[in-house]
Structure 1
């Protein structure tokens, strides 16, 4: 990857690493590269609810317009909503200003191509090359050639209609919805209500600084309590930009992305609609998922961690369903990126069609104990490949044998090495994971 683009666009602390100046120049370079095939390019821009979104949006718009491209501004909308609009409207590209599940001080800028997919590495590298070059390949337009801003007032309605058309009515269900004070805070409750669901919205009052704060898919504790308090059929939690979904069953137990993928894959297979009879997951998916789907005769394709790699494998294999334990799930039949609200509707539809509780559906997979511990390091690759660390990992593999596994990988967004151990005995797993962390720390 380049110096600026990470696994999910350009990320950083807003107004420090990710400055308005950087956003302005990124807007210029991005608009130029993505608009080469369009005589008068148009670019959609959306954002989540963080306070820095307005600042970065203004800078991005200025940069885009300064190279002669028009901006279609939609305001606050989930990331997958921008992906949908980008591929269904006559535009050159889409941009989302969001840092997903990260805390409020962070923000990010992510581009979609005109087809609604994330940009390939080669295009990101081209944008970055122009951004870092002192000489710019465009001539500044003047007069009527400068870009203008066009407000799109029906963006939310377009996105909602698209989502509603993927399922039937869902009357009779009682759902607590936690929108993480983020991009789905308005559209999420409204969508479920229009489908006949009794909705109890929580964490849906964004104030610019409370996005993902002790709520949403990364903090389901509040949702668990609310489900029990309201005696709801289930709870649903999005993250800040609503491209993830984590559920809570009627007993207050968390149902993560692995369970949701198993539920949906088995339901699609039963109807003969599981493309390629396959599911794409990452190396972080629980062994219980592999066992459940193997027993059902469903093929599993495995990738490294990151939704972009899941997407690449979906496109390579022809499968249409894939995702991550974190709740970032792609229904490629419907949308070109993970979509928390779309995933919610597919899950609710299975419950409605089969007349089963979420706990009963989740029981189709038995989760094996899993321990994840992080080590903060200066050099991720050097720490992971230190001879003593590799030796310790091999020792753990021998101890676990065929009944478990160990995975050591770098974080894609933080200076961390993650050690995940999976097996039968939770206490043993903790000891084994910590033993690897200790060796990493000793050899920093």
Structure 2
């Protein structure tokens, strides 16, 4: 069996790559690996999903698999991924399962697993689950009679999650008018409720999920309708969530996009001023814009970089007990309130900063100036070999000398495809494009 888990759980086209049979196998293996062996009662699992049509089928398979392994299941229904993670910790469950493909299009789906406390699984535990599937698929010793797991619905899970979100908000949102784009996904009820209860005036768009329209030209990956709605309604800002609400991007009153780097910069400065930014350090990935690094240095804030992927940000936050981290794509993590990226939480804290300072989102975002960034994906036959080739290394070194302190070169093999990614930042878009094309040409030649 090839590597089953990607950077964020098991994901693929529903009923083709990710079948009910595979979902059941993952659930059974997870129940055996994640539950403590010497418990005096059955392991407890939280199960949630986003509203895409295939989630109904895959949720049923996951629940059946868990119950067949003797686990007690609390089914929370449609809920954002960070809501499921929160409830795993709140209920003291042994683990949790979220059926979602996040920002992916509707035909895809996925399975995300959370350990006790609501934390994402480390690589070695995912490897154990994969090994258990391969070694025991169809061969588990199954409980019978009263030992078979029971299934219950946790009807007030969303209410508990909303109360938690509102309680975390550091300043009332009175006077803030926000448009929230719910991506026709899991946050359709939760996000508007949280924003409203925290005091904001809320205009809601793309909050009518029908199982087929999740992420369809809406949400954090398609901000055009949000930009138009913010201007149309005269709102102070817009919040764009994705299908499972683990990421958040924003839009200013003028309709300009405020990305994850800018959001992290705003929140880092706020926490720094409040004395809440542990070790005055922000955790980002290598893809964060050089402008963020410059702005944080000027604000007296240190940056710590990780590989691309929110799981690596999470690992660093936990290992070093730090208070804020995230990605340019809008995954923002505040461990004091969440164990994973939470778009609704991010939106609340972003608006709280606006309310506390009386400044517009554009004013707050102006603390950093984004450098032009060009990314070229070059198809290759062997991504690792090409990325480490002497000619490619020489081209990167030459580009670094040319850009000096005014730019940055990042060349890395893709983690999932046979691609080498060439990213250049420079003082001007023309320079970034020219240098990126030159390095990409060398990659193609190799």
Report 1:299-378 matches (<5 A): 299-378=302-381
TM-score normalized with structure 1 length: 0.96
Q: Relative to 1, partners in 2 of residues 1:83 and 1:134: Cα closer, same or farther, differing over 3 Å?
A: closer
Report 1:183-222 matches (<5 A): 183-222=186-225
Is the Cα contact below 8 Å between 1:286 and 1:368 reproduced in 2? yes
User: Which SS does the other structure have where 2:23 is aligned?
Assistant: helix
CA RMSD of aligned residues (A): 1.7
TM-score normalized with structure 2 length: 0.95
Give CA-to-partner distance per residue, 1:217-272, whole Å, 9 cap, x none.
12212211111111110010011110101001111111111111111111111122
Question: Where does residue 402 of structure 1 map in the other structure?
Answer: 405
Question: Where does residue 92 of structure 1 map in the other structure?
Answer: 94
Deviation of 1:138 (Å): 4.2
Is the Cα contact below 8 Å between 1:2 and 1:125 reproduced in 2? no
Deviation of 1:435 (Å): 2.5
Please point out which of 27, 40, 43 is paired with 2:42: 40
Partners in 2 of 1:76 and 1:435 — Cα distance?
Answer: 47
Question: Where does residue 53 of structure 2 map in the other structure?
Answer: 51
Question: Where does residue 18 of structure 1 map in the other structure?
Answer: 18
User: Which SS does the other structure have where 1:217 is aligned?
Assistant: helix
Q: Relative to 1, partners in 2 of residues 1:369 and 1:50: Cα closer, same or farther, differing over 3 Å?
A: same
Unmatched segments (≥5 aa) in structure 1:
none
Partners in 1 of 2:132 and 2:269 — Cα distance?
Answer: 47
Question: Where does residue 430 of structure 1 map in the other structure?
Answer: 433
Question: Where does residue 254 of structure 1 map in the other structure?
Answer: 257
Is the Cα contact below 8 Å between 2:101 and 2:110 reproduced in 1? yes
Partners in 2 of 1:372 and 1:188 — Cα distance?
Answer: 32
Deviation of 1:64 (Å): 0.9
Partners in 2 of 1:364 and 1:280 — Cα distance?
Answer: 18
Count of paired positions? 443
User: Which SS does the other structure have where 1:184 is aligned?
Assistant: helix
Give CA-to-partner distance per residue, 1:95-141, whole Å, 9 cap, x none.
11111111112211111011111011121111110101147774211
Partners in 2 of 1:381 and 1:198 — Cα distance?
Answer: 50
Deviation of 1:291 (Å): 1.0
Please point out which of 425, 440, 444 is paired with 1:441: 444
Unmatched segments (≥5 aa) in structure 2:
none
Question: Where does residue 7 of structure 1 map in the other structure?
Answer: 7
